[in-house]
Amino acid sequence: MTPRARALVLAALVAACAVLTAGAQDASFGRTTSVAAPRGIKFESALLEDVDGDGARDLVVLAARAGKRARRVVRIHLRRAGESAFAPEPELEFDLLPDVVGVAVADVHADPGAELVLLAPTGAFALRPRAADERERYVQLVATELLWQLPHERKTLTWQEGVRDLDGDGLADLVLPRPDGYTAALQRRAADGARSFVVSTPELPDDGADTPEGLGSAKARGRKRRGEIAVSLKLGDRAPAGDLLDVAESVPAPVLADWDGDGRTDLLAQTTADVLVWLLRGDGRYAGPPDVVLPLPLEVDRRRLLDVSYSAHAADLDGDRRADYLLLAGDQRSDDARVQVALYRRGPAGREGATPLFGDAGRPAQLLVIAGLAGAPELADVDGDGLPDLVVGSLRLDALDALRAATGSTLDAELYVYRNQKGAFSKQPDLTRVLHVPAKALSKSRSELTARFVGDATGDGVSELLVRDDPERVQLFMVRRAGASLAILDRPLFETRVADDADLLVTPAARGVPPELALVSDAEILHVRFGR
């Protein structure tokens, strides 16, 4: 599963923005490198990906030049040996064309290293910045309609989650969202090194769940996105005044996982009615209609969609190489705030029957109940046993707790880790961490509060915990195995002050490479690599 930011539940309440800066000071475990924006440049976002093919992550900065008619610019800082990970000045810098909507990094061309994949409304293109001939600078990879069709003057979307080796041939493939489904492009390499793509277009069925609302109905609408709930109310007559054109398109986020255990990565999506599965075939294509349609085991109505705890996840939880299903939902029948965690495991391979996963009765293999307003789940291998563990945040408050919080001006949230015991989670949390969120954080809408396990940074096989429960501070805590249990050390391995409006980019540990961070603010990127 792609790494996710773990916004605390309470971040949903944050209602305004502010800008503060703070100097950075680091402890010894993490080595920091600061990259400052030159005069006239404002940093917008960043990626940490291997661009030059040396196995180390480089820093790709997406920025905008100041001025009324801003131009977007990409600055690539290649990783270098030594104390500073990056030079102050980028090794590569180029302007983005006006119709570029988003970017990703992937090796999609015979040129050495990876390319910048430019996403435009009409398809994906590889940028070859070192091409001698200007006409060969842009190579079309796939023609497709992209969900995101309107470029921004300053911002550039990133879609690194759509880059995966889907068929296990060692080549990066692409999955791009379209307004009515997805475009999958599987890369092929010819004997001479030339690249081509096998393209297929899985299509979302018209399930009727998204019937457009009619005139005069649904005058009040609610929507939930990460970190916010918004309600809009329309009073009076029909057409919203003052708009020439209003376009809203959306698709379920594609989840890439092996459904049938054949080693190829299948494509999953969930509507308000069904889980849909498109199987990757031997020829590198997905079918248009989904191969598997599984009706959800619960009704997903507006109340459910606004439920802050509601989320569903696909991952192999029992090690059989086939995706299982995890569902979190608020218990709507309970007087107390509590969340049900339902684990649906796959049946024996080849003998799942006519209704795989959910079964005829929709009964889960395991049901956990977590008290409080729980959410922001993450499936991460905390204990290093190779199976994903369940990490959930929870807010439990009664009047006394609230009074205590008001007195201390901090809000206590809890982070639970339920270890995966061969396909079932522990009935009680194996690890609990109390997070003290200062009340001032509630007034910072731009700051991202997070607590997530980022992989092993110390070499003991156990994942470390990254915490930003104060917008102005980032800490890394060591998690230690003590016999059969886990413990989080009180003293952080690393701590640094950060600008409270800095966006946090986390690259978890992978294949022995420790986790890294990038804190992106308008004028500076603070890069942190862990390990001594």
Of the candidates 79, 284, 113, 329, the one whose C-alpha atom is nearest the C-alpha of residue 188 is 284
Q: Which of 36, 110, 194, 218 is in the footprint of another protein by CB under 8 A?
A: 218
Where b means 16+ CB within 10 Å and e means fewer, 446-485 reads bbbbbbbbbbbbbeeebbbbbbbbbbbbbbbbbbeeeeee
Q: Which of 253, 349, 369, 487 is in the footprint of another protein by CB under 8 A?
A: 253
Residue closer to another protein by CB (options 28, 211) is 211
Check if the beta carbon of residue 10 is closer than 8 Å to that of residue 443. no
Q: How far is the CB of 330 from another protein (least distance, A)?
A: 7
Distance between CA atoms of 176 and 201, rounded to whole angstroms? 10
Residues 263-292 interacting with another protein (rule: CB under 8 A): 268-270, 275
3-state class (DSSP) for residue 135: helix
388 binds another protein (CB under 8 A): no
210 binds another protein (CB under 8 A): no
Query: Among the candidate windows 192-200, 217-225, 280-288, 463-471, which touches another protein by CB under 8 A?
Result: 217-225
Distance between CA atoms of 510 and 175, rounded to whole angstroms? 21
Check if the beta carbon of residue 342 is closer than 8 Å to that of residue 365. no
Q: How far is the CB of 130 from another protein (least distance, A)?
A: 28
Q: Which of 153, 207, 352, 460 is in the footprint of another protein by CB under 8 A?
A: 153
Residues 485-524 interacting with another protein (rule: CB under 8 A): none
Q: Which of 135, 238, 333, 511 is in the footprint of another protein by CB under 8 A?
A: 238
Q: Which of 129, 148, 171, 291 is in the footprint of another protein by CB under 8 A?
A: 148
Query: Among the candidate windows 85-93, 133-141, 330-338, 345-353, which touches another protein by CB under 8 A?
Result: 330-338
Where b means 16+ CB within 10 Å and e means fewer, 168-199 reads eeebbbbbbbbeebbbbbbbeeeeeeebebeb
321 binds another protein (CB under 8 A): no
48 binds another protein (CB under 8 A): no
235 binds another protein (CB under 8 A): yes
Q: How far is the CB of 301 from another protein (least distance, A)?
A: 8
For the purposes of burial, counting CB atoms within 10 Å of the CB of 501, is it exposed (0-12), middle (13-18) or buried (19 or more)? Answer: buried
Angle at 237 between CA 235 and CA 239, to 5 degrees: 110
Q: How far is the CB of 106 from another protein (least distance, A)?
A: 16
Residue closer to another protein by CB (options 110, 403) is 403
Judged by CB under 8 A, the number of residues near another protein is 102
Name every residue whose Cβ is closer than 8 Å to that of residue 197 and which is 6 or more positions away in sequence. 141, 142, 174, 185, 186, 187, 188
3-state class (DSSP) for residue 160: helix
Q: How far is the CB of 313 from another protein (least distance, A)?
A: 5
Query: Among the candidate windows 300-308, 416-424, 462-470, 521-529, which touches another protein by CB under 8 A?
Result: 300-308
Which residues is 200 bridged to in the sheet? 184
Residue type for 368, please? L
Check if the beta carbon of residue 29 is closer than 8 Å to that of residue 515. no
156 binds another protein (CB under 8 A): no
440 binds another protein (CB under 8 A): yes
Q: How far is the CB of 216 from another protein (least distance, A)?
A: 5
Q: Which of 181, 202, 254, 492 is in the footprint of another protein by CB under 8 A?
A: 254
Residue type for 110, please? A
403 binds another protein (CB under 8 A): yes
Q: How far is the CB of 481 from another protein (least distance, A)?
A: 27
Q: What is the 3-state secondary structure (H, E, C) of 440-483?
A: HHHHCCCCCCEEEEEECCCCCCCCEEEEEEECCEEEEECEEEEC
Under DSSP, the state recorded for 312 is: E
Name every residue whose Cβ is closer than 8 Å to that of residue 393 and which is 6 or more positions away in sequence. 6, 8, 9, 374, 375, 376, 413, 414, 415, 416, 435, 451
226 binds another protein (CB under 8 A): yes
Residues 70-89 interacting with another protein (rule: CB under 8 A): none
147 binds another protein (CB under 8 A): yes
| Residue whose tokens read 């255990």 | 261
209 binds another protein (CB under 8 A): no
37 binds another protein (CB under 8 A): no
Of the candidates 149, 153, 139, the one whose C-alpha atom is nearest the C-alpha of residue 176 is 149
Q: How far is the CB of 240 from another protein (least distance, A)?
A: 9
Query: Among the candidate windows 73-81, 108-116, 234-242, 426-434, which touches another protein by CB under 8 A?
Result: 234-242
Residue closer to another protein by CB (options 438, 531) is 438
Residue closer to another protein by CB (options 59, 442) is 442
CB atoms within 10 A of CB 204: 18
